[in-house]
Structures are given as C-alpha cells and as structure tokens.
Amino acid sequence: MNKETAKNVVVYIGQRVSLTAIALVVLSFMTFTLGQLVPGDAAVVAAGPNAGNERIAELRVEMGLDLPIHKQYAIYLSKLSRGDLGKSWFTHQPIWEDIKARLPASAELVFLAMLLNVLISVPLGVLAATRFDSKTDGAIRLIVMAGAGIPIFWLGLILQHYVAGEAGWFPIAGRVSFEFRDFSGSTGFLLIDSAAQGEWRIFWDALNHLFLPAITLATLFIAVVTRTTRSTVLRTLQEDYVTLARSKGISEYQVVVRHALRNALIPTITIFGMQVGWMLSTTILVEEIFSRPGIGKYAVKAITQSDIHGVVGVVLVMGVIFLITNLIVDIVHLFLNPRHRESVQGK
C-alpha cells in the first residue's frame, strides 16, 4: 500500500465512521418513536396501581412527559450519550446495568456460534463447489436444505431433549453449573474470566453449557453461508484466472484456496458481518429454550411484561452492535479487495 492509498484508506474509514454515527442517530430516533407509539401512559404505569391522580401528574412532570415531543427526544439523546437507557418500569433498575450484566452471556454464545459457522460453512461450501454435481455435493445440498428449513426453536428443543436430556452428553440449561454459580470476574465473560484465573474446570463447564445453544443458533446460518459459498466458489472456479492458475502446474488445493476461495470470500465476509447482528436477535429464541441469562432472554421478559424501556434498550444495543460489526466488515473489505482500496480514492 503506497502513501496515497494509505491516506485514502484513512479518509474512507473516517467516512464510514461518520456514516455509522448518522445511522446511530436514525436508530435512536426509531427507538424513541417506538417508545412513544406503545399504548399506555408511562406515568400511570410508573406510579403503580394505587397512586392517585396527583401523584401521576407529579410523575409526569418528573419524567418530562409534559414537555413537547422534540424536547423529550433531545433529553432522550443526551441521556443516551451518557449511557442512560432509562429505568425499568418493573425492576426500577437502570436498563443499561441490566443489559450490561447479560450482554457477555449472549456475546459468548454468538461468538461460539459464529466460530462454528465460519469453520463449518466455508469448508463445506468449497467442498460442494469443487465436487459439483457429485454425491458429496448432493449430500451437502440436502443437509443445507434441512438446516435452512428446521425451525430454530424445534431444533433447540430436540437437541435439549435427546442430546442433553436422554443421552446426558451436555448440560440441559443455564450458563454454568450450580457449584460454580458464584464465580465472577472482571470482564463478565465466563470463558475469558475463568481462563484468566486459570479455573479450567469452570472454563470447560461454561463451554459445555454453550455447546448445544451454539449449535442451535448456528445451524440456520451455517446453511445459508454454505449455500452462498458454494455458489460463489462455483462462479470463481469458472474464471479465467483460475484456469491460468491451474496452467502454472500448482496443486489443485492451492488453486482453490488461493484463487477461487480467496475471491469468493469477499462477498462471504459481508454476509458474516450481517449474520452477527441477526444471530444476536436470534438469541431471543435460543436463550429462552436453554435458560441462558443473556439479553435475548431479557428481551423476552421485557416484552411479556410490556416493559417498553427494556425492549427499546435491547433493540438499541443490538442495533449498535449490528452497525459496529458492519463498520468492521467495511474495513476488512479494504484489506481483502485491492480494487476497493483503490476506488475509495477521491470520493
């Protein structure tokens, strides 16, 4: 990368960051509107069933509900910028604290599911493409079809019942065994904290608890990426540069990995980026089934209790994570695609 390109890359990243910031404002507007649209008077709910009209009016002023809508939004934004997502109407806890305590459990789940996704879907897609129209290809297509068609909640219940319950290979539910329930560390990530403290039994225990939920969460996403990898690799294998790479007398493995797959990865990375966000929202199903104390389970609870601030908080946090992963993907693209690096010039 020469100096000129390096400068362009910095400018480009700056642009992406500011675009992400704009998207965040739009997101906040949407979550704010969501809070406004929900029927019911926040002050009535907050005051409780026995409060009198006076108390409700008092609370309305206290909560800023008597102000014009744009002022309410301004207050909302300034609170957001300080990390204040409001208080739960039910627990009266700051929502950010609730989410912060639950986010690591979900992040661990999404991370492991994503890891399985990358490690399984890409090799499977490449295998299907290089064995195009063979029995292997047919078998992979069948598995993919099944994987994409299985409802996540059903798969989770089946795995929980048979693999964890009947066979007893994995724990049925929860994040960690009862005996380790008091373990805590500085990051909140069980895997990181236990590894950092050398508590390998806890690490192993937490990993075991993660396994089935991660499989459940990953299956649909693996199916999708296997399919897209197969078709993009099939396409790149037809390219002249792959034929010419073969004509150099290098091994077929090198031809496929260095040229066909390397080029096919560019669109695949984009899909991976979006999947992080989708997976996060799918934790709502998986964490409920496996009783994992993450933000998905928290969202379910907030929804059933009509805790609008809780729901809005989860939506906002998931949205932020989605935007940030896509920002990272944009930057990764600069390293994967030299043409892209060049074309950011002069914009």
Could you say whether residue 243 binds another protein (CB under 8 A)? yes
How would you class 246 by CB atoms within 10 Å of its CB: exposed for 0-12, middle for 13-18, buried for 19 or more? middle
Cα–Cα distance measured from residue 186 to residue 176, given in angstroms and rounded to the nearest whole number: 17
Residue showing tokens 């993450």: 294
State yes or no: residue 4 binds another protein (CB under 8 A).
no
The Cα-based distances of 73 to 18, 26, 77, 80, 278 in angstroms read 21, 12, 6, 10, 28
Nearer to another protein by Cβ, of 15 and 345: the residue is 345
Nearer to another protein among residue 7 and residue 201 (C-beta): 7
Binding segment toward another protein, per CB under 8 A, in 15-23, 151-159, 242-250, 302-310: 242-250
Residue 87 backbone dihedrals phi, psi, to 5 degrees: -110, 150
CA of 197: how far to CAs of 105, 168, 185, in Å?
18, 28, 8
Ramachandran quadrant class, 177 (left: phi over 0; alpha: psi -120 to 50; beta: rest): beta
Task: Give the number of other Cβ atoms within 10 Å of residue 48's Cβ.
Answer: 11
Q: Which among 89-97, 144-152, 239-247, 269-277 is the span making contact with another protein, rule CB under 8 A?
A: 239-247
Distance CA 184, CA 82 (A): 26
Tokens of 318: 């998931």
345 in contact with another protein (CB under 8 A):
no
Q: Using the rule CB under 8 A, is 263 a contact of another protein?
A: yes
Which listed range, 88-96, 217-225, 296-304, 330-338, lies at the site for another protein (CB under 8 A)? 330-338
Choice from 241, 274, 291, 345 touching another protein (CB under 8 A): 241
Residue selected from 266, 269, 320, 324 as contacting another protein according to rule CB under 8 A: 266
Q: Of these, 60, 102, 230, 259, which contacts another protein (CB under 8 A)? A: 259
Listing DSSP states for 67-123 in one string gives S-HHHHHHHHHHHHHTT---B-TTT-SBHHHHHHHHHHHHHHHHHHHHHHHHHHHHH
Closest distance of CB 99 from another protein, Å? 40
Nearer to another protein, 36 or 243 (CB): 243
Which window, 64-72, 83-91, 253-261, 315-323, contacts another protein (CB under 8 A)?
A: 253-261
**Of the ranges 34-42, 243-251, 274-282, 296-304, which one interacts with another protein (CB under 8 A)?**
243-251
Closest separation in Å from C-beta 240 to another protein: 4
Binding site for another protein (CB under 8 A): 237, 239-241, 243-252, 254, 258-259, 262-263, 266, 336-339, 342
